[in-house]
Chains A and B, each alone.
Chain A
Amino acid sequence: MSISYKIRHLDQLEAEAIFILRETAAQFERPVILFSGGKDSIVVARLAQKAFWPSRPPMPFMHVDTGHNFPETIEFRDQFISDIGGQLIVASVQDSIDKGRVAEEKGPNASRNALQTVTLLDGIEENRFDAAVGGARRDEEKARAKERFFSHRDEFGQWDPKNQRPELWNLFNARKLPGEHFRVFPLSNWTEMDVWQYIMREEISIPSIYFAHEREVIQRDGTFLAVTDFVSPREGETVEKRQVRFRTVGDATCTGAVESPADTLEKIIEEVASARQTERGGRSDDKRSESAMEDRKKEGYF
């Protein structure tokens, strides 16, 4: 062969994700993209913009809002969705609490992380969505490593990891019974590094809290938690100012910051390349037990 038809790894991952998004649009009646304002969902939104250009993405965006947000993320969320011409639905955990659908966790490590599942499933049911597209990646966590691109959920929103449909070549089976739905993960094969490289290559804007900044934090369980309306120091904990950044953006009560001088994408990528902790290493929700993620996922978590 005279010419070499090579395609770079980011282009391959992009082509795969766009293929998945187009399959989602074609195989489902009412798909939705879950959008948290975190970097992975931003990349999914960007890919959706590309997949259907010059049309708008043929599916709305839904934010499952724990109410424990960093204000920067919410501002960013609204701007970003309006820029790509998307429609935003907010499903609120506070509403679920007010309606008595869930009860707030009590105790020192209380978090709304687990409550999100109920709000998410309610949001899916109320809007009659049949597919929820998420930015989860298989490299994040060992239970997620077993995920499919098209992941079946029964009528209770549950995942049965031992009984998943095989996915071969690029043939995806989205058939389901009434009441069942799918989770779709276009970034399955991306790593944290791929996401950062893509953000840099595509010049995608991301919330400022990903970059190093000075912030008041407390040290708890080996990570730094930002002092916010929802996190205040306990006895014996002291508030200090540190230069930190966040590697993931989740509920402010359980997302830890890392000390870092990385204030540009280049520096973040360098930091990711030499990191010795996984990005979810600062997530106390994962540390609850060895199968914390698997258990939550079975219940219907992202």
Chain B
Amino acid sequence: MSTTEDGYMDMDLLRFTTAGSVDDGKSTLIGRLMYDTKTIFEDQLEAIEKSSKQRGDENVNLALLTDGLRAEREQGITIDVAYRYFATPKRKFIIADTPGHIQYTRNMVTGASTANLAIILIDARKGVIEQTCRHSFIASLLRIEHVVLCINKMDLVDYSEERYNEIVKQFTDFASRLQIKEMTFIPISALNGDNVVNRSENMPWYGGSPLLYHLENVYIGTDANHVDARLPIQWVIRPHSEKYHDYRGYAGRVAGGVFKPGDEVTVLPSGFTSKIRSIDRFDEEVDEAFAPMSVAIRLEDEIDISRGDMIVKPNNQPESSQEVDAMICWFSSENSIQTRGKYIIRHTTKTAKAVVKSIQYKVDINTLHKIETDLNIGMNDIARVQLRTSEPLFYDSYSKNRITGSFVLIDEFTNKTVAAGMIR
């Protein structure tokens, strides 16, 4: 393969997250994907071979590859989201590897927030358990469009088709209450490599693709919003130089829709309208800009625009409101969310204050029941809340746009990020 051909320079990018319970073999699966795609280097392999031996592990413990922190290796657990990278000639992959422990739900939410696809591992011996439901619910809540259920450790159930079908049915029953666009089931053995990169000879009854093939080919072309034009302004470029004396570029990353030179636009919150004079990417002008491109837009008219404002189209505007109805995931172990509690809210490039007007219910994420009797929202809890903000936010529902529909809450005193929110 010639690496300098356009084919290689011109790859797709797929971001996925992995979730599973303790000992589901998640790290082994990632290790296997990286090992079989030759992403693991000799010195890395040597290092983990040495460590495995020292720990008395029977095989080379591929999990040691992903567990980067000393505390993780000592306790044999994954503490924090780790990002991993591998590429095939078809695609480049970014893995957000999130720990499966109950107390780390926030990590999965974090990993899921930027993912196109989620892999959820199920231990074939245990079937669908509480944690599987939890992980699928989060994937659904975060609107991950593609979910792959890897039924792992098939070698320990004699590669039984019957057992596989049982689990598929268990999961399908549960998932009927969720909103997942596309579900794919793959029976695998991460330890032995069955159906990971290569088709398994042990499961001739399985007619689908191995995992890697699926990851390389799943269609993600329509995942971003290309309908509702939104450009949150990040920074205003004003060179103050002789050559570019009058240059004013409104810089930002397109959050939705398509912008073209000549398009009529409205600026929020002022409501002024103008036309796009040019779309600049460094020293070249481009014909169009869409998510997730970073550009600078120049307008025909001089309008006062600053960070936190948003450029949209006159006939397609987001909600502009100080009232926000959202699902939140609470992250803080130090305190719980309080009615009338005040926080800093970050939404697109805007920062404002927010007060919690009401907490409507908490979700039991194992049963999906709404709990209205206990509204004490602690770490890892998911709840529906109503907020009022100090100034209007320009937002869409999260189901329509993951960028303009999401926010975080920050504690004013500790500066910690205490919640992630998805606007309904």
Contact = CB atoms under 8 A, between A and B. Distances in A.
Interface of A: 1, 4-16, 18-19, 22-23, 25-26, 49-56, 138-139, 141-146, 161-162, 164-171, 173, 175-177, 188-189, 191, 193-194, 197, 200-201, 266, 269-270, 273, 275-278, 281, 290-291, 294
A275 B41 contact: yes
Given A7-B293, A55-B237, A168-B114, 14 more contacts: A4-B221, A7-B292, A15-B253, A16-B292, A26-B349, A50-B282, A53-B280, A53-B282, A54-B247, A55-B238, A142-B68, A145-B68, A170-B403, A173-B417
Contacts of A56: 239
Contact of B408 (A162, A171, A277): A171
A25 B11 contact: no
Contacts of B94: 189
A5 B3 contact: no
B272 interface: no
Interface stretch (B75-83, B118-126, B365-373): B75-83
B243 A54 contact: yes
Interface residues of B, number: 81
Contact of B12 (A6, A14, A177): A6
Contact of B79 (A54, A162, A200): A162
Which among B3, B67, B73, B239 has the highest number of chain A CB atoms within 10 Å? B3
Nearest to B45: A276
Contacts of B235: 22, 25-26, 52
Contacts of A177: 415
Q: Top 8 A-B pairs ranked by shortest CB distance? A: A142-B68, A175-B415, A168-B113, A18-B294, A15-B294, A9-B13, A281-B43, A166-B110
Contacts of B10: 8-9
Interface stretch (B84-92, B150-158, B210-218): B84-92
A291 B51 CA distance: 12
A290 B403 contact: no
A290 B83 contact: no
Nearest to A267: B4
Nearest to B68: A142
B87 A193 contact: yes
B59 interface: no
Contact of B68 (A14, A51, A143): A143
B148 interface: no
A5 B420 contact: no
Interface in B221-254: 221-222, 224, 226, 234-235, 237-241, 243-244, 247, 251-253
Interface of B: 3-4, 9-13, 41-44, 47, 51, 65-71, 73, 79-85, 87, 92, 94, 106-107, 109-110, 113-114, 221-222, 224, 226, 234-235, 237-241, 243-244, 247, 251-253, 258, 280-283, 290-294, 296, 307, 331, 344, 346-347, 349, 402-403, 406-408, 410, 415-417, 420
Nearest to A198: B9
Given A173-B346, A173-B415, A1 B222 contact: yes
A139 B92 CA distance: 13
Given A173-B417, A277-B42, A146 B410 contact: no
B420 A290 contact: no
A166 B253 contact: no
13 contacts: A8-B9, A8-B12, A18-B294, A23-B234, A52-B237, A54-B283, A55-B237, A142-B65, A161-B79, A276-B41, A277-B41, A277-B43, A294-B68
B69 A162 contact: yes
A146 B83 CA distance: 7
B168 to A, nearest CB: 31
Nearest to B253: A19
A122 to B, nearest CB: 25
Contact of B253 (A168, A170, A294): A170
Contacts of A169: 113-114, 402-403, 406
Given A146-B69, A169-B403, A269-B4, A278 B43 contact: yes
A184 to B, nearest CB: 14
Nearest to A191: B85
Contact of A14 (B73, B84, B294, B349): B294
Given A7-B292, A19-B253, A177-B415, A145 B84 contact: yes
B68 to A, nearest CB: 4
B248 to A, nearest CB: 11
Nearest to A15: B294
Given A5-B290, A51-B251, A164 B80 contact: yes
Contacts of B81: 146, 166
Contact of A22 (B84, B280, B294): B294
Contact of B239 (A13, A25, A55): A55
Contacts of B258: 5
B239 A5 contact: no
